[in-house]
Structure formats: structure tokens, C-alpha cells
Amino acid sequence: MSDFKETRLSSEEIFQGRVVHLFRDRIRLPNGKESTREVIRHSGAVCVLPVTDEGEAVMVRQYRYPFSCIMLEAPAGKLDPGEAPLAAARRELSEETGVEAAEIIELGAFYPSVAYTDEVIHLYLARGLTFLQQHPDEDEFLDVARIPLKRLVADVLEGRIPDGKTQCIILKAAARLRAE
């Protein structure tokens, strides 16, 4: 196998936002030539799929500005500085849905777009659910819905759920639960 490694020569921050930072990097290619890469740096995120004993997934519907529509998604959110992914999963689950879970199972990492961002979304399955009061962030407006996991799998396969992290977690959680 060839060495495809690209080496960063310099990095210039173009934009620093609340959620993302955009950099323009000069790099050396494997053939010795130089090129440019634009990279979005992200602090990371979590996505957690709570599933009831009856096989219903607890989902959220929220407006997504870039697409000007309401999306059906698994509860998710970014990591706070220094926050462990498991702690963030529990926090986001409680904030967005009011759910507490007796058991949270790691399902791996999801890289949403490897070409231009270093964002990693840590995926979790939550079981043994207790339903309390949701307490979303002040700039977060969402509805909670319980939907049979089997229906969500069909919706993913038939193209009715466009969000990548949600597609991934639904299929991974369904496969994990089927294997038990």
C-alpha cells in the first residue's frame, strides 16, 4: 500500500464561530507538490437513540435552518469543552427529551463528512428509560415523538430520513438489538 499521507505546512484560521472554526491549510502531497485544504474544526458531538422496552425510539423534530425544514432526528448535540462523550450523551438525552437511561451502550463513532471536517459524532443506544421533563437550551425548539424502531428502519431504507447521523444510529441500534 502506498503512503497517501499529506503533511500540513501552515494553517490560517479564516473564521472562528461558536460551533465551527474554518482553517485554510497549506499541505505537502505524497508526490512532493503543495496544495490547499479548507478544514472545518469541530469540538465533536454525540447522538443517542433511546429505545423503550416496547421497541419505540424516542426521536425529536426540529427546524434545521440550512435546509429550511423540520427534520426528524435522534437526540444529539455538541460536546462542551472538556466534556466526556458519555456525559454529553446523558446531558443531551435529558435536555432534549427528558429521558434518563439506566443503560447506555456505545455504538461507535460516525464521521459525518471526512473531506472537509474533523467532526466526530459518538453514537449511543439508551435503554431502561425513565421519562421526566425535557429542558432544552433556550435557543432550541423541538418536539419529542415515540416511533417504532422497525418503522424508522423502513423510513431510512426508503429515503424518508435524510439526516446522516440519524440514519446511522437507527441502523446500528436495530442491528445491535436484533443480535441480542
Task: List Cβ neighbours of 172 (8 Å cut-off, separation of 6 or more).
Answer: 107, 108, 123, 125
Catalytic status, residue 138 = yes
Catalytically annotated residue among 138, 140, 158, 180: 138
* 127 vs 50: CA distance, rounded Å: 6
DSSP helix/strand/coil, 144: strand
Environment class of 2 (CB within 10 Å of its CB; exposed 0-12, middle 13-18, buried 19+): exposed
* 31 vs 21: CA distance, rounded Å: 29
Long-range contacts (CB closer than 8 Å, 24 or more residues apart) made by 29-35: 30/2, 30/3, 30/4, 30/5, 30/6, 34/9, 35/6
Residue pair 59/28 in contact (Cβ under 8 Å)? The answer is no
* Catalytic machinery residues: 138
